[in-house]
Structure formats: C-alpha cells, structure tokens
Structure 1
Amino acid sequence: YSRQQLPDYVRRHHSEPQVSEIVSAVKSLMHNSAATVEEVIAQLLSWIDQDQKITPLKALQGLIWEAGYRNGDFTGHLYEDAARNLRRWHEQGIALYVFSSGSVYAQKLLFGFSDFGDLTPLFSGYFDTTSGNKGEAGAYRTILQAINTPAAATLFLSDIRAELDAAATAGMQTTWLVRDHPTSPHEVHRQVQSFDDIVLAQ
C-alpha cells in the first residue's frame, strides 16, 4: 500500500513541515542536498524494494498508513484470539508492550485502527528499532531497563526464531507463535498455535 501511495503522497505533501523534514533526512542519506523531489521518491522506492529499515522511510510510511486508516482503506489485521487475550491480560493487570521493526507511530496506527477497534489503551508502551535490532539481545536488555522488569518475569512472544533466540539470550521467557506451522518438538522455545494456549503467571 505505502509503495503504491508514496510517489503521489510525497509530491502533494513535500512542502508540509512533517514531510519536508523527512525529505531533508533522505537527501542527507543520499549525500545530495540538491536532490529533486522525484530523485527523493526514487530513493525511497528503492529502499522499499530492498526491504531497508531506514528511519525516514519508516516515518513516511507511518504518515501514508495513517491517511489510509483514516480514509477507511484498510484496518490493522489481528487474529481474534490475539485481540481477545490481550484484552483479558490487560484486565488482569498484566503490563503489555509492543516491540516491532515498524515505527512506534505505525504500531499505534495498527492497534488504533484494528479489526477489533482501538486497542491502544491495552498497552503500557511501544518499542521500535530505536531500541536496537530485534535479532540482537542488546535490544531486549534496553527494553527491560526501560520497563524496569526482571528478565525472568518477562514473556516475549514472536513467530520469528532469531528474535526468540535474542530475547532468550537477554534472559526473557519466550513463546513461539507457530499458528499452522509447528516446528520441531525439541525446540528450546515453547510453541503455541493460538493466544488461547498461552498461560501467564500472575
């Protein structure tokens, strides 16, 4: 969606302060302060095609997604069992946090315009790659420090093995969300196919 919308969005909004700041950051990364709007657009599209996690690109994608959410072009996809259990855990007083490669802004949009309504009040905080790479233990140590919670009392959920390994290295409990694709029964990470299968200690 963002790739399709990006060229026209930048052309229409590049002089507005928020987008102008992003364009300037892109020019800086291009080492070309005289780059035209079209050259900036080409660079942004190139980063998308290469799946690059570039900060100004993520910020711009967040703005484009916000426009899409507000226009009703789409909603944030969540599984029903995820939404239901997140609500239940919140009611039980369990602190919930999000750590994603998407920006905090994009995370709040996804949960704010989810298939099940605005879920943002359920979360105590949001973390993105400014805390570090999701595949590196240092990022999880940074988050533990920020939320002031012992690693052994923190459960990290993911469907990506490298992230679970990194969280475990930082001392966290881990659970692998495998849905319909269970892996080896000898895995070090506990596996569940649904949020309904996750048991949290109070």
Structure 2
Amino acid sequence: MEPLPAAVTAILLDIEGTTTPITFVKDILFPYIQDNVEEYLQKHWHEEECQDDVRQLKLQAEKDSGQKGFVPIPSNTEAELQVIKGVAANVLWQMSLDRKTTALKQLQGHMWRSAYASGKVKGEVYDDVVPALKKWKGAGMKLYIFSSGSVEAQKLLFGYSIEGDLLELFHGHFDTTVGSKVESDSYRRIADKIGCSTENILFLTDIIKEAEAAREAGVHVAIAVRPGNAALTDEEKSEYHLITSFDQLPLQSTH
C-alpha cells in the first residue's frame, strides 16, 4: 500500500466507530447514567455543581413543558427526595428521546467524570489504536480528536482508558463548538487553529457525511470499517481509502 501524501502532518480522529466501539457509548456510558442518576443526585445534592446542574435542567424543563409525554420537575417546595426523583425521571425522559440538550449533557458529563475517576468506567479503544498513535507520533505526526462529544468527555475517555492515560499522545481536542462535523467549514476552522493547510490533515472517520465535508474542505480522508459501523455502498467503497485497522495506514515520517 502506498504511503499517504507527504503533505500530511496532522491526523484528526473521530472517536465512535473509529478509535472506540460504537457500543461503548450505547451499552456502557448511557446505561451508567440511567442506572445511577438518582443515587448520584442524592449523594451530591447539596454540592454547588450539582445544584447548578439541577437549575439548568429546570430551565430546560420550562421550555419542554408543552411537549408530549413531558416529565415535570417538582418545585423546591416539595420534599427533597421527591424533587430528586423528579429530576431523575426528567433525565430518563430526555434520554429516552435521545435528546442532546446542554443541561442534560452537563449533568451526564459530571456523572461520567465521577465514574471514570472512581474506576467504575474505563474508556474503550480498539487494540490497534494505541500502537498506531505512538508510531504516528514517533514519526512526527500531530494527533487531534474531533468528536461531537464535548472536549471534557473526550479527555475523560482517553485519560481513563483501558490502556491507561493516553492524553499525552494528543496535541489537541475539538468538539462541535468549531462547527458541525458534516459542514466543510468546520474542517477549515480546525486547520486554522492547528496552524496548517487543510491538505496537511488526514481525517479518520466511519461516517460518510463527515468524510464528504472534510474532503470538500481539502482534507485527506480514510474511512474506518469496524464491526457494528454503518454499511457502505459499493460506490462509497470505491470513492474512499478504507481501513479495518490503524496499522493499515503507512505514513511517511515528517522528520
């Protein structure tokens, strides 16, 4: 296999379906919230951070009040345990609809931080990921993450991974504050922030729409074909460089 273009000096990595099984979020992270939210709220209820999370959830609940099946949060005049149960029920309702509200993500982020730090959860990465990251970094590549999950969530996953703390391998992290992953301008902004041209970047993802947006911006792309990822059409397979493992990317040293 021919090495990728010599112009590539930075590798931008998606997480789900690329470095990490899609099932990790669906089968580990989300069920952790569902199983532990009420207990977490009881334990941390009187802490400022938790109260701020609850305030944000209540503000979101005011906006949601007209929605079908809406689960209200009791006012603070109710007994503490009833309010906690109400907050937990609202969180479960939002998750059942796959909501991505800022208030929900904020609480989830704090719960995951606690779970990672206590060792209850460890970030999953495919077996081929860490050796490849170390090899690429050793070859002079700069490594970055671009995920729809928050930068904080990314750092937790790699900081508390099954392979230990991997954060030192990365030069930076990007989330959707730079723009959507399916918009080409996002990749131009990332290039600006990295301080290079889009043609100096290789983006690894499993999502065709993200690959299209990156390629439109002038970024080199390879598609990760992993178990459980969305199937590709024959046309998509012919259009992109496909890899089933990171060790299938022969890179030229930038030294």
| Letter aligned with residue 127 of structure 1 | F
Q: Does 1:172 align with 2:219?
A: yes
- Equivalent position of 1:18 in the other structure: 49
2:39 pairs with 1:8: yes
2:241 corresponds to which residue? 190
Counterparts of 1:50-199 in structure 2, within 5 Å, are 50-180=97-227, 183=232, 184=234, 186-199=237-250
Question: 2: distance between equivalents of 1:161 and 1:90?
Answer: 26
Contact persistence 1:77–1:110 (CA under 8 A): yes
2:238 match: secondary structure: coil
The aligned residue for residue 200 of structure 1 is 251
5+ residue gaps, structure 2, are: 1-31, 64-72, 76-82
Q: Secondary structure of the residue that 1:115 maps to in structure 2?
A: coil
Unaligned runs of 5+ in 1: none
TM-score if structure 2 supplies the norm length? Answer: 0.71
CA distance in 1, matches of 2:221, 2:150: 23
Deviation beyond 3 Å, 4+ runs, structure 1: 32-40, 180-183
Larger radius of gyration: 2
TM-score where L is the length of structure 1: 0.88
1:168 counterpart letter in structure 2: R
Q: Secondary structure at the match of 2:145?
A: strand
Of all paired residues, the percent bearing the same amino acid is 37
Question: Which residue among 48, 73, 90 is the counterpart of 2:95?
Answer: 48
Q: Give the C-alpha shift of residue 174 in structure 1.
A: 0.6
Partner Cα distance (1:129, 1:14) in 2 = 30
- CA-CA distance at 1:194 after TM superposition: 0.4
The whole-number CA distance in structure 1 between the counterparts of 2:243 and 2:84 is: 47
Q: Is the 8 A contact 2:116 2:122 kept in 1?
A: yes
- 1:135 partner SS: coil
User: Structure 1 pair 10/137, CA: closer, same or farther in 2 (3 Å)?
Assistant: farther
Structure 2 residue matching 1:155: 3-state secondary structure: strand
The structure, 1 or 2, with the larger RCO (C-alpha pairs under 8 Å, 6+ apart) is 2
> Does the Cα contact within 8 Å between 2:38 and 2:84 map onto a contact in 1?
no
Secondary structure at the counterpart of residue 51 of structure 2? helix
Question: In 1, are the aligned partners of 2:74 and 2:86 still within 8 Å (CA)?
Answer: no
Shift of 1:52: 2.1
Query: CA contact under 8 A between 1:59 and 1:103: conserved in structure 2?
Result: no
SS in structure 2 of the partner of residue 42 of structure 1:
helix
Q: Which digits, 9 at most, give the CA deviation of each residue in 1:84-127, with x for residues without a partner?
A: 11111122221111111211111111101111111000111111
Deviation at 1:189, TM superposition (A): 1.9
Deviation string 1:56-76 (CA, Å, 9 cap, x unpaired) is: 322222221222222222311
Distance 1:143 1:21, change over 3 A: farther
Q: Given the alignment, which residue of 52, 58, 64 partners 1:27? A: 58
CA contact (8 A) 2:147 2:175 kept: yes
SS in 1 for 2:163: coil
- DSSP-derived class of the 1:96 partner: strand
Which deviations, in whole Å up to 9, do the C-alpha atoms of 1:120-143 show, x marking residues without a partner?
A: 001111111222222222322222
Shift of 1:37: 4.2
Q: CA deviation at 1:34?
A: 7.3
Q: How many residues align?
A: 202
